[in-house]
Amino acid sequence: MMQATTAAAAAQLLTDTRRRPRYSRARLGATRLSWPGRFAVQAFAGQCQRQVNRLRSAATVTHRFSAISQATSPRRNTRRQCSDDQSALQAGCSEVNRDQHGYDVNRFEEISQDVSKKLCAFYQFCRPHTIFGTIIGITSVSLLPMKSLDDFTATVLKGYLEALAAALCMNIYVVGLNQLYDIQIDKINKPGLPLAAGEFSVATGVFLVVTFLIMSFSIGIRSGSVPLMCALVVSFLLGSAYSIEAPLLRWKRHALLAASCILFVRAILVQLAFFAHMQQHVLARPLAATKSLVFATLFMCCFSAVIALFKDIPDVDGDRDFGIQSLSVRLGPQRVYQLCISILLTAYGAATVVGASSTNLIQKIITVFGHGLLALTLWQRSRHFEVENQARVTSFYMFIWKLFYAEYFLIPFVQ
C-alpha cells in the first residue's frame, strides 16, 4: 500500500513538471526566451527531476524494508515461541522439583519411622529389665572393693567399663538365644517380643546373638582378666544349656535346673567374679572376702530364686501347652506366688538384722530403714495381687525387679 501511494505521488509530480514547460511555451507563443529565462526553466526542471529520484529511492527503500520485515518476522515468531516454550519448561521443572522435594520428605519420614521401629524392637529384644539389673548389679559389686576416694582412678574406670560391656553383651546373647528357641511359646506368653511378633526375622535374631557373643568374648580376652573370662564362659555355658533344644539340654523344661541357672549367675557369679575382677585384676590386691560381699551373695541367692520362680507365673499357659514343667505348672500360680512373698519378706528381715549389727551409725540407719521400707512396700503391694489378672501378674513381676535394683543400692552400706 505504501509503495503504490509513493509511486502515484511520483507520477503526479512528473506529470505536473512536464505540463508546466508546455504551458509556459504556449503562453509565450513564438517568442524566444532569453538566456536567463531558459536557465530558470532548466533549473526548475532539474529540481523536479531530483525530487522524483528521491521519491523513487524512498519507494525502493520502503520495498526493501518491507521484504526484510517479512523475512525477519518468522525469526521473531520463533524467538517468541522459544521464549514461551522456555517459560513452560521452567514451570514444568519447578513442578517436578516440588514433587521431588515432597517425595524426598515423605521418603525421609518413612525411613525415620522404620528406623525408630527397629530400635524399639531391638530394645525389647534385649529385655531391658535384665539389662538394668546387670548394670546396677555390676556397678554395686564393683564399688565393694573401694576403700577410699583414691581408689577411683582412670585404671579402675577402664576395668569397670570392660567388665560392664562384656557382661552386657553376654546378657543380650543369653536373652536373645532364649527368644530364638521360644518363638512359638512367646506367641502365647509374650506376643510383643520382636521375634514372636515378626518384627525381627530368625536370621536377624541369629545375627544379633552371634554378634554379641563374639563381642563379649573379644572384650573379655582383650582385658586379660581371668575372673572376668570365667564369668563370661560360665554365663555362656549355663545360658546355652538353659535354652538350646538338644539332648541333655533345654534345662528350662525342669524347674530345679532352670532356677539353678538363674540363681548361680545372678547371685553367685555376678557377686564373686566381678568382685574378684575389681579387687585382684584392677586394683592388684589380694583376694579377700568382706562382710558386704558375703551379705550380697546370700541375699541375692534368695532374690534370684524368687525371680526364677515368679517369672513362670505369667507364662503358665504357654509352658503348659509346650510341656515346660515349671513349678507354676506343677504347683499352681497361687502357691508359687505365696512362696515367693515369704522368701522375700524373710530375706528383708534378715537384712534388717544384719544392718542393725553395723558399728557405723549412718550405715546402720540406712540399711535398717531401707530394708524395712522395701519390706513394707512389698507387703502393701502383695495385698492387691490377683493371680487371675494377667496384667497385674506381669506388673508385679516387674515390681520384683525394681526391688532387685533397689537392693543393690543398699548393699554397699552393709559393712
Q: Which CATH number is 204's domain given?
A: 1.10.357.140
Residues 138 and 271: their CA atoms lie apart, in Å, by: 8
Phi, psi of 152 (to 5 degrees): -85, 85
**Cα–Cα distance for residue pair 17/57, rounded to 1 Å:** 19
Which residue in 194, 171, 183, 212 sits closest to 125, CA to CA?
194
If asked whether residues 278 and 169 sit together in one domain, one would say yes
Q: Assess whether 253 and 120 both reside in one domain.
A: yes
Q: Of 267, 265, 260, which Cα lies nearest the Cα of 171?
A: 265
In a domain, 195, yes or no: yes
Give a yes or no: residue 266 inside a domain. Answer: yes
- Is residue 281 included in any domain, yes or no? yes
Total of domains in the chain: 2
State the cell numbers at 309.
Answer: 520362680
Distance from C-alpha of 43 to C-alpha of 47, rounded to nearest angstrom: 6
Contacts of residue 189, Cβ cutoff 8 Å, sequence gap at least 6: 314, 315, 317, 318, 319
Whole-prediction pTM value?
0.72
Q: Please, what's the b/e burial string for 325-345 (b: 16 or more CB within 10 A of its CB; e: otherwise)?
A: ebbbbeeebeebbebbbebbe
Could you tell me if residue 104 is inside a domain? no
In a domain, 172, yes or no: yes
What is the residue range of 258's domain?
A: 116-286
Query: Do 359 and 266 fall into the same domain?
Result: no
Same domain, 151 and 273: yes
**In this structure, are 131 and 248 located in the same domain?**
yes
Picking from 286, 305, 325, the residue at the C-terminal end of a domain is 286
**Per-residue pLDDT at 373:** 96
- Integer-rounded Cα Rg, in Å, for the chain is 51
Residue 60 included in any domain: no
265 and 145 belong to one structural domain: yes
Report yes or no on 108 lying in a domain. Answer: no
Q: Where a domain ends, among 235, 252, 286?
A: 286
In this predicted structure, the answer to whether residue 407 has a pLDDT above a threshold of 80 is yes
Same domain assignment for residues 164 and 140: yes
Give the Cα separation of 140 and 284 in Å (integer): 19
- Does the pLDDT of residue 385 top 90, yes or no? no
Closest CA to 173 of 220, 206, 145: 206
Is the same domain home to 133 and 267?
yes
Quick one: angle between helices 35-125 and 154-181, nearest 10?
Answer: 80
Question: Both 271 and 305 in a single domain?
Answer: no
Residues 343 and 235 reside in one and the same domain: no
Percent of the chain with pLDDT over 70: 75
Cα 242–chain centre separation: 32
How far apart CA 158 and CA 160 sit, in angstroms, is 5
Report pLDDT for 65: 45
pLDDT tens profile 276-311: 999 999 999 998 888 999 999 999 999 999 998 998
Q: What does the pLDDT look like over 9-38, one tens digit per residue?
A: 444 544 554 444 444 444 444 444 454 455
- Burial readout 111-124 (b: 16 or more C-beta within 10 A, e: otherwise): eeeeeeeeeebeeb
Query: Given this model, what pLDDT does residue 20 score?
Result: 47
Cell of 198: 515378626
**Choice among 89-93, 202-206, 398-402 with the minimum mean pLDDT:** 89-93
Place of cell 509352658: 319
If asked whether residues 180 and 307 sit together in one domain, one would say no
Residue 37 makes CB contacts below 8 A (sequence gap 6+) with none
Last residue of a domain, one of 286, 305, 340: 286
The mean of the pLDDT values for the chain is 82
The answer to whether residues 216 and 229 belong to one domain is yes
DSSP state letter for 267: I
